[in-house]
């Protein structure tokens, strides 16, 4: 596996991983998140876990699950971390704490004896309360755009998070004041994931036929969960404005649901209502394992959009750039460090802005091609899973060895 990564990311990149992993051989690291399918976190873990295992670390991946009230509560946490004012009933908080406490009981030996525990997002954050005398280092990884969290909810969550030995945010803009080192680590994509690997032309043709997409006409695509923060309605508005001057465009909205997202269905209904019966808008609800379909849709598109109003990072942006597509993205969160105006795409703040850029790009095909080439190299150098693993290993090494500024490997 490492050999394959060396071919795509570079030999030196893989050599760095080997050097970092050398002193960590046999180290037991447990990841805990809230779903094995759907959403960016699960996707990253599916590829990162085997890669770290191949580097010689003893990696486990555990999932916290609960009753519907638990998911209602954690969805509210998610919305609150992204700045929405939410009122979470006390009984939901009790369910949240009980679910964490019960999960802790089942994972007691695993978590108590781990060298490092990596807790993803708020859902399992309270696990730490069940391990006041834990042996290893506990790290909280926040994948959410937490730039302006709703303070009462953050104050509640901070009670748990502040007990960790370190935390990780995707961008400096998201980082919160905490009494431990706050690392800034961007997420990543895996070039060999079914969603990103090369696809032959026959498969692309088959995908177009299956969804009645005309490959001779421009295709605009947004891939994301049906979530208001992803602004699918805004994408439809942008399409309608752009269509006035570029009537032959087609729009595809493709998304699935995550098992921990109870709001998806309502948003999907809103999107279908907004699309009405326009035959050039395809609203696709795909299963969480439709990676190959997503891959093909991204490849047959001319422009990929990610018009989010809030975005932790936007792995769909990274995926599109990797496939040499210019991206029109909302000027928010992690999209800002991936979509660089006039280099890899355009940042926009309104449906009108998005429409303007759609028209601009469709009338400048050479520029689209140039942006596509740049985007792929940009991802290769900065947003592949190898860089992500290197930064996790660096953090672990620094924490375990109390390193301050310099970590010298030899």
Partner 1 sequence: MERTCVMPNKSKTDPFLLKDCALIAIAAGKKAQNLRELREHIRNIDLNSLYYHFWGGLLRPRFDNPEYHNDFAIWVAHALHNRLVAERLAVIDPMAYETLEDLRTELIETIEECLDEIQFPTWAGRDDQFEFVRYQIVIFDTNITVTHPEDLVRVFPRMPVGSIFYHFIEGRRRNRNSLDDFRNWLMTFGDEYAELGQSIGEICPYFTPLRELRKELIEVCRSHF
HSE-up of 345 (CA within 13 Å, CB side)? Answer: 33
Packing angle of the helix pair 365-382, 315-322 (nearest 10 deg): 120
By beta-carbon proximity to partner 1, the closer residue of 71 and 183 is 183
Find the shortest distance in angstroms from Cβ 166 to partner 1. Answer: 9
By beta-carbon proximity to partner 1, the closer residue of 286 and 340 is 340
By beta-carbon proximity to partner 1, the closer residue of 87 and 382 is 382
By beta-carbon proximity to partner 1, the closer residue of 136 and 333 is 333
The phi and psi torsions of 256 (rounded to 5 degrees) equal -130, -175
Among 367, 377, 373, 378, residue whose Cα is nearest residue 338 = 378
By beta-carbon proximity to partner 1, the closer residue of 79 and 167 is 167
By beta-carbon proximity to partner 1, the closer residue of 25 and 363 is 25
Name the site residues for partner 1 (rule: CB under 8 A): 11-12, 15-16, 19-20, 147-148, 169, 172-173, 175, 177, 181-186, 332, 337, 340, 343, 378, 381-383, 390-391, 394-395, 397-398, 403-410
Find the shortest distance in angstroms from Cβ 374 to partner 1. Answer: 8
| 3-state class (DSSP) for residue 389 | helix
Contact 138, 128 (CB under 8 A): yes
Find the shortest distance in angstroms from Cβ 14 to partner 1. Answer: 9
Find the shortest distance in angstroms from Cβ 309 to partner 1. Answer: 12
CB-based burial label for 105 (10 Å; 0-12, 13-18, 19+): exposed
Find the shortest distance in angstroms from Cβ 251 to partner 1. Answer: 28
Contact 373, 379 (CB under 8 A): no
Find the shortest distance in angstroms from Cβ 270 to partner 1. Answer: 26
DSSP symbols for 67-91: -HHHHHHHHHHHHHHTT------HH
Here the tokens at position 68 are: 């519907």
In whole angstroms, give the CA distance from residue 249 to residue 227. Answer: 24
């Amino acid at each position: 596996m490492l050999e394959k990564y060396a071919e795509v990311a570079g030999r030196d990149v893989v050599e760095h991983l080997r050097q970092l992993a050398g002193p960590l051989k046999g180290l037991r690291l447990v990841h805990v998140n809230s779903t094995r399918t759907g959403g960016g976190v699960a996707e990253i873990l599916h590829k990162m876990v085997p890669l770290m295992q191949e580097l010689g670390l003893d990696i486990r991946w555990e999932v916290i699950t609960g009753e519907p009230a638990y998911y209602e509560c954690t969805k509210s946490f998610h919305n609150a971390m992204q700045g929405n004012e939410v009122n979470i009933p006390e009984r939901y908080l009790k369910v949240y704490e009980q679910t964490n406490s019960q999960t802790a009981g089942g994972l007691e030996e695993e978590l108590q004896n781990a060298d490092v525990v990596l807790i993803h997002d708020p859902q399992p954050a309270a696990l730490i309360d069940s391990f006041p005398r834990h042996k290893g280092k506990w790290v909280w990884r926040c994948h959410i755009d937490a730039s302006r969290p709703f303070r009462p909810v953050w104050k509640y969550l901070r009670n748990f998070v502040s007990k960790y030995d370190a935390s990780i945010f995707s961008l400096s803009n998201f980082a919160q004041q905490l009494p431990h080192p706050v690392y800034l680590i961007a997420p990543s994509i895996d070039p060999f994931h079914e969603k990103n690997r090369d696809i032959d032309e026959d498969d692309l043709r088959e995908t177009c036929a299956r969804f009645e997409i005309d490959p001779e006409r421009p295709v605009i695509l947004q891939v994301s969960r049906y979530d208001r923060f992803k602004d699918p309605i805004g994408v439809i508005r942008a399409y309608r404005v752009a269509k006035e001057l570029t009537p032959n465009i087609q729009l595809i909205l493709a998304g699935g649901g995550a098992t921990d997202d109870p709001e998806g269905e309502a948003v999907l209904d809103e999107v279908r209502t907004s699309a009405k019966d326009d035959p050039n808008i395809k609203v696709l609800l795909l299963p969480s394992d439709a990676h190959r379909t997503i891959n093909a849709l991204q490849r047959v598109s001319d422009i990929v959009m990610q018009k989010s109003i809030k975005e932790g990072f936007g792995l769909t942006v990274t995926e599109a750039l990797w496939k040499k597509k210019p991206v029109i993205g909302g000027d928010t969160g992690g999209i800002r460090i991936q979509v660089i105006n006039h280099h890899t795409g355009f940042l926009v703040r309104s449906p009108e802005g998005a429409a303007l850029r759609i028209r601009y790009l469709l009338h400048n095909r050479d520029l689209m091609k140039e942006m596509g080439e740049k985007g792929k190299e940009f991802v290769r150098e900065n947003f592949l899973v190898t860089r992500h693993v290197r930064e996790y290993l660096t953090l672990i090494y620094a924490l375990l060895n109390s390193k301050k500024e310099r970590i010298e490997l030899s």
